[in-house]
Amino acid sequence: MDIKLNVKVSIIDDTMGVITINGELSIFVQEFDLLYKELTAYIKMGLYQYVLDLNQVSYIDSSGIGMVIKLATNASKFNTQICILCDQPQVRKALTISNVDKIVHYIKSVKEGSDYYKNTNIK
């Protein structure tokens, strides 16, 4: 069985990234390294507001959680949080067990995430 990770990244108004992930967010997936490098490049470019859509993620391991923590840590340097869409019970449970839920902002839609950033005083 070939495990896949599909990722779509959209940049909105040059200030917010919407990252939609489908599949398994695991270091054992070939595309994981590419995703990690791409997100690191966005961070270096100064993008720190993200909506991370994990609704289609079927599995997340510690390396996937680590990537979420990296995004959240970068956002905290700018006094904000990343926004996460996630209605997958197992993925949400893994994030909660890892205490990631304490450093992210859960949302129900991309629009809610966009509104969160617009209403947060971030420079």
- pLDDT tens string 19-70: 999 999 998 888 888 888 888 888 888 888 999 999 999 999 999 999 999 8
pLDDT at 121 over 90: no
* Tens-digit pLDDT profile for residues 82-96: 999 999 999 999 999
pLDDT at 17 over 80: yes
Q: Which residue has the tokens 């992930």?
A: 21
The number of C-alpha atoms within 13 Å of 103 and in the hemisphere containing its C-beta is 18
Q: Which helix (H) or strand (E) holds 28?
A: none
Q: Which domains does the chain have, with CATH numbers?
A: 5-118 (3.30.750.24)
Q: Which helix (H) or strand (E) holds 82?
A: strand 82-85
pLDDT at 15 over 80: yes
* Cβ-count burial 28-57 (b if 16+ within 10 Å, e if not): ebebbeebbeebeebbeeebbbbbbbbeeb
